Structure 1
Amino acid sequence: MAGENIPVAANVLGTIGTVFWCIQLVPQIWHNWRHKKTDGLPASMMLLWAVCSMPFGVYMILQNVNIPLQIQPQIFGFFGFVSWGQILYYNHEYSQLKATLLVIVSCLLCGGFEVLFILTLRIPYHKGITWPVLIFGVVAAIMLAVGFVPLYFEIWKRRGRVAGVNWVFLSVDSLGALFSLFALAAQGTFDILGGILYIVVFLAEVGIFSSHIIWRFRHRKLLRAAKESGKSVDELLAEMEKGKDIENETKASSVVQKPVDQGVSTDEATASASRSREERDLERGSD
């Protein structure tokens, strides 16, 4: 449990981290709204992130960490649900009303369960029974880490390219994780699970940055061609895929045509041989 006297440095760093994590999803939400699509941004990722704010909030509040870090999960969860609702609306053909209702109901359920668990676990926690709270911290860390798996799967499908993710969002998210980690360290009593959670976020996002940088380096000619032609990278990639499909269809049709031609030639040869035999039989008969 963190001490009652939180150092000023911890509060300052925690406030900076919370500000970053409060606004981190705003650029992504704006990006989704502007482009009216969320290709490459998995709904399961945003849902896991949003839901993990509930056990994360229970853990942070009962651990009595600095106030900014206590309110951080709630704001993070709210924006996570909003982004999830956008994915349902833009890419999964949910109606605007249905997506909005799902977001509101999900926020209320998570908020209600969080309050219930805090009130239920507070008494045994103050008596020294801390393992239930520890479980909430572990669950939050696992859900946050697993939330990156669908995104990495999308990156793998695109051979390392990151699509649909706003880079301002990722940058702010990484900074929020770093400052929150520094805030925990400045408390004097470092919370291990909270630290693991922030480290997981930072390392996962470093991996995302690295993957896209490598992809851009490998496809620098494609990026140059897109810039010169005035087309987007997605348009050029679509044209390349279309060209490959046409080429494959041409090859397949040529492979099918050869046996047919060979079959026709064989039939003609058989018919010719049959006619020759008939002519010979007629000649013998006339003799």
Structure 2
Amino acid sequence: MAPQTDIPVAANVLGTIGTILWCIQLVPQIWANWRTKKTDGLPASMMFLWAACGVPFGAYAVIQNFNIPLQVQPQCFALLSVVSWVQILLYSHNWATWKATVLGVAVTVACAGIETALILTLRVLYERGNETPVIVVGVVASVLLAGGLVPPYGEIWKRRGRVVGINWVFLSMDCSGALFSLLALVVQNTFDILGGILYIVCFALEVGIFASHLIWLLRTRKVRREAREKSMTFDALAAEYEEKGEPFRFAERRPKQNKPRRGESDVEAGSDTSNDVPLREQSSAAGQVCGVGRVAKDSSSLGW
């Protein structure tokens, strides 16, 4: 698609609104991370992929000669994503402050350099009529943006639909920014398909996050009412169920532990052998019934 030559006023207005929202959308999330010193439920891969997305998306916007607000937007988006990514390294992965900061600065400089190189290289090819490289860059940007919104769905699945760690003000601003930016493309003289896909994917996946948490709220309304009656939080009530050993249908999913195979003794499965005298006696008794060969096999597995 040829670059834009005449930008309507409406496109600039809508693009400006979208840019303002996307320029500050991560500020509430960054503030919440700093205030609570917690980033549980906010995947580092999400923010890193978003920071990486700013490189091809920024190059694509400049080469396609989008309205100025839409050209500025990817740069701010990528920078704020790097800041949030560094916070996750600090609070969830216990990195040293200096180490996380240096890495964040290095990633920012690398992204700026790569984007500049892409613009200078691909613009020449684009002006000569070769649109393929620019299209590839746009596709990569869309994939990275969509890919960044996939890890939160893993966290949502683990918590059975509950959204934790994602600031709702941030998500609302991000979703609105995608919508206004999409409208800015719609009112341009020609609609940019790849740019439109990028915003549509972002908007749809974020609406999915809202919907997931809303469904979780509906499913847990009785449980949350019980927690309020006991002057407890939902997490405290879940912990109480766990301490009692009672099943709780809304408990977080945990990795499955290796279970013994059928016919495999607890010792062979890696259980504690500090009190294994009864097991040895049972193995000996079983060996007398099943034959000497079976006794030898059990003896070998017990380290006799």
* 1:177 Cα deviation after fit: 0.3
**2:144 corresponds to:** 143
Q: Secondary structure at the match of 1:92?
A: coil
Moved more, 238-247 or 214-223: 238-247
Aligned residue runs from structure 1 range 117-156, under 5 A: 117-156=118-157
- Structure 1 position 95 matched with structure 2 position 96: yes
1:37-72: per-residue Cα shift (whole Å, max 9, x none)?
Answer: 111110011100111110110111101111100110
Determine whether 1:239 maps to 2:240: yes
Q: Distance in 2 between matches of 1:233 and 1:246?
A: 15
User: Aligned partners of 1:86, 1:122: CA distance in 2, in Å?
Assistant: 35
Q: Which residue of 1 aligns with 2:8?
A: 7
State how many pairs are aligned: 251
Q: Distance in 2 between matches of 1:184 and 1:26?
A: 25
Structure 2 letter corresponding to 1:110: C
Q: Match of 2:79?
A: 78
In 1, the alpha carbon distance for the partners of 2:26 and 2:77 equals 8
Match of 2:203 in 1: 202
Equivalent AA in structure 1 for residue 208 of structure 2: G
The aligned counterpart of 1:49 is 50
Deviation, structure 1 residue 217: 0.5
* TM superposition score normalised by structure 2: 0.79
**Identity percentage of aligned residues:** 60
* Kept after mapping to 2: 8 A contact 1:20/1:176: yes
Contact 2:6 2:189 in 1 (8 A): no
Using the alignment, how far apart are the partners of 1:178 and 1:39 within structure 2? 28
Distance 2:143 2:151 in 1: 14
Deviation at 1:2, TM superposition (A): 3.6
Shift of 1:230: 3.5
SS at match of 1:129: coil
Q: 1:232: how far off?
A: 2.7
Q: How does 1:179-218 map to 2 (within 5 A)?
A: 179-218=180-219
Deviation at 1:220, TM superposition (A): 0.6
- Cα separation, partners in 2 of 1:100 and 1:193, compared to 1, 3 Å: same
CA RMSD of aligned residues (A): 2.0
Q: Greater CA radius of gyration, 1 or 2?
A: 1
Q: How does 1:268-283 map to 2 (within 5 A)?
A: none
Determine the structure 2 residue equivalent to 1:274: none
Query: How far did residue 4 of structure 1 move?
Result: 1.4
| Contact 2:4 2:64 (C-alpha < 8 Å) held by counterparts | no
Which runs of 5 or more residues in structure 2 are unaligned?
249-277, 282-304
The two structures have a TM-score, normalised by structure 1, of 0.83
Aligned-pair CA distance for 1:246: 10
* Structure 1 residues not aligned, in runs of 5+: 248-259, 264-287
